[in-house]
Structure 1
């Protein structure tokens, strides 16, 4: 199993959440590929923690649909599954629709400026074929609405559903069709600036659902 370098990057005091995020991100970014066998000793050497937080993280990843654990046999990275992707996409789209609808009435000029700046960075990252920067800018864009929505459960649900979709996003953001989201984001900003919460929410929902049609979120 190839593991990211350097090894032992985490200390004993590492929070369980950090162990989960480290393994999750390695799966999402393709370092741990679909079908890759996850071995406890190698994960322990990489993360520098004991087996207990690793097993807890693997249980969470199994519930999130990112790994397959067969009792008494191997634990492997789950393949890209169209059904699981669609399920996650529907949940993510619904959560962003709700977040946008709740957030728009609370948005101020600094928020709209942050949305515009994030979309500008997103566009530039796509032009540079920088998938990591595009994903970060896209997250910054949508996090404005998440941060202003006032519903703490929305980010919790997204944290569970988004990782499955993120693997598909990485593929889409390497394609020219991802330019579609720059325009979609601009329309969301325009509607939010007008105070039209319902229209902005629907535009956000369609932006995420477009992932399955060859574009992206």
Structure 2
């Protein structure tokens, strides 16, 4: 689709709902009711239904028994599995990208990580998400596998919700340190070590998440509150 073309009504509704979910405005576990959304957005119910169906495919909304839907709930287990999956896909992307990463692409990766660092220092979740998305886009473009890119895009989009909801997480610095190290290794043409470092980053990340629930405390407390 041409980026200059206006969004269809379904695309516009899907984009708005996606932004509200990723920002936390629509919280994990919040019920999704087509009629209420249509009334709030001042659109007919048909584009809302189609947009919700798209977000179910993207994993941001989940279908429940009795035709109920809700913003996909986040638990420590689901968040850890999500990060594990993202790690597998990004490591595969980097491995395939290396033969095509010239100096200019590596310089772009450095810029993306520098931007990410400034955003994390400022606790600016929106800018941090944009910077990380740029980093991911460079890797997947260089990898040159459209199916892999589609999978990474879906998983990364769901992962950004963790970044935005956990803007006080000590894991932010852990991400920055490791991704910076990966880029430095690429700049020094130590490609195998760069892949290994990225793979170990996600392995250690999931270990930390399983061992320390504090970075996801807001998620677990919200879930417990709904179940009480």
Same-fold call, TM cutoff 0.5 = yes
- Residue matched to 1:24: 18
Secondary structure of the residue aligned to 1:180 is: helix
C-alpha displacement of 1:45: 4.3
User: In the aligned structure 2, how far is the partner of 1:199 from the partner of 1:100?
Assistant: 11
Asked if the contact 1:96/1:201 (under 8 Å) is kept, the reply is no
User: In the aligned structure 2, how far is the partner of 1:68 from the partner of 1:57?
Assistant: 13
Shift in CA distance, 65/13, structure 1 to aligned 2, threshold 3 Å: closer
**Stretches of structure 2 lacking an aligned partner (at least 5 in a row):** 1-5, 216-228
Q: 2:28 matched to 1:34?
A: yes
- Residue matched to 2:52: 58
Secondary structure of the residue aligned to 1:68 is: strand
Asked if the contact 1:93/1:206 (under 8 Å) is kept, the reply is no
- Residue matched to 2:179: 185
- Paired residues, number: 205
Q: 2:156 matched to 1:162?
A: yes
Shift in CA distance, 116/160, structure 1 to aligned 2, threshold 3 Å: closer
- Residue matched to 1:202: 196
Shift in CA distance, 87/63, structure 1 to aligned 2, threshold 3 Å: farther
* Superposition pairs of residues 1-217 of structure 1, within 5 angstroms: 14=8, 16-47=10-41, 49-70=43-64, 72=66, 74-212=68-206, 213-214=208-209
Shift in CA distance, 60/205, structure 1 to aligned 2, threshold 3 Å: farther
TM-score, with structure 2 as normaliser: 0.76
> Which is richer in helix?
2
TM-score, with structure 1 as normaliser: 0.79
**Stretches of structure 1 lacking an aligned partner (at least 5 in a row):** 1-11
Asked if the contact 1:65/1:78 (under 8 Å) is kept, the reply is yes
C-alpha displacement of 1:89: 2.0
